[in-house]
Amino acid sequence: MGVLQLESRLDPKSVNSSSGATGLAQWLGGRKDKLEDLAHKENKSATNLGVQLDYLDQELNSSYYASNKQIFKYTDVHKATKAWLMDYEGMSKNPEQWYLSQRYGYADHWYSVLGASDPVAGNTLDNASSGNLTELGCDSDPSYSGGSIVKNAESMKGDFYYVQTHPSPDLGSDLKNPNKTGGTDCSGFVWLALNKAGYKIPANMGWFTGTMASDAKGSHQYLKQISENDAKAGDIVIVNQGAGAGNNGHTAILLDKWQGKATKIIEQGGTG
């Protein structure tokens, strides 16, 4: 799941505009052709989730990819994630595309949701699936100052194009001063603002709205949930559907006191 989330944001309709790579695993070349053949047989689109899951199962039961099923017996989530990336995704010779820290972060999240009894993740999903709003303070540090967060967020207004990659290589190596023509998404933008303001954040932009909400409700490593009445400029708002992955989650920084949908925000992407 961690590998696939970075590949496609778990969106079966994801199609790379340059290469044409399609679907959950971004199938390409002969594998994409076989996916399309199966879709034709099932009289459905190649971007249909059911078709892609059928094709994934078909590949795992083939002699060439059958060895990948061994990872389901692993007890180390990171080991399993890397093994899937190297073998099934065929990335062993492309280290520039590994982005292991981000894939590991996604994998840890999905393991907490699907592979263990984690009441924090469970409660987060219950809240997210109902479409509820989650208001989050940016840090439990008593020196918290919303003004510095707003100032740094506004200094990046109009910068960046939208892309769901963490971090996008074209942001450059100095994320305190990211390349203004680089790309990021909503949670990446919040991360950049907090980073510039000097707050504690996960390394290498290693979060997304699902893990942000889990942290705010649970371990409070970086965020802490607060009430609507306390939400003010510089605080973070998160809205999740399901696990908050890809297009199913959004986050922004408040520019004034919480006033429901009338609250002014600064964001990257989304519909506001």
Check residue 180 and give its pLDDT.
92
The amino acid occupying position 78 is H
Q: Which H or E run contains 224?
A: strand 224-225
Residues with Cβ within 8 Å of 179's Cβ and at least 6 positions away in sequence, in order, are: 170, 171, 172
Which DSSP symbol is given to 256?
A: S
Task: Check residue 151 and give its pLDDT.
Answer: 93
Q: What is the mean pLDDT of each run of 10 residues along the chain (272 residues)?
A: 87 90 94 95 90 90 87 89 93 90 83 49 33 40 66 91 86 94 92 94 89 85 87 88 59 88 80 39
Handedness of CA 86, 187, 111, 14 (dihedral sign): negative
Q: How far apart are CA 78 and CA 72, in angstroms?
A: 12
- Dihedral of CA atoms 161, 27, 69, 6 in degrees, nearest 10, equals 0
Measured in whole angstroms, the distance separating CA 236 from the mean position of its chain's CA atoms is 16
Cα 256 from Cα 258, distance rounded (Å): 6
Q: How far apart are CA 152 and CA 258, in angstroms?
A: 20
What is the per-residue burial (b if ≥16 Cβ within 10 Å, else e) of 166-176? bbbeebeeebe
Q: What is the pLDDT of residue 248?
A: 61
In the block, tokens 């999903």 appear at 125
Residues 100-128: tens digit of each pLDDT:
988 888 888 777 656 543 333 333 333 33
The predicted pLDDT at position 15 comes to 93
pLDDT at 217: 85
237 with 133: CB under 8 angstroms? yes
CA 37 vs CA 30, 32, 33, 60, 133: distances in Å: 10, 9, 6, 17, 42
What is the model's pLDDT at position 113? 58
**Cα–Cα distance for residue pair 268/20, rounded to 1 Å:** 25
pLDDT at 230 (0 to 100): 86
pLDDT value of residue 6 = 86
Q: What is the pLDDT of residue 115?
A: 55
pLDDT of res. 85: 94
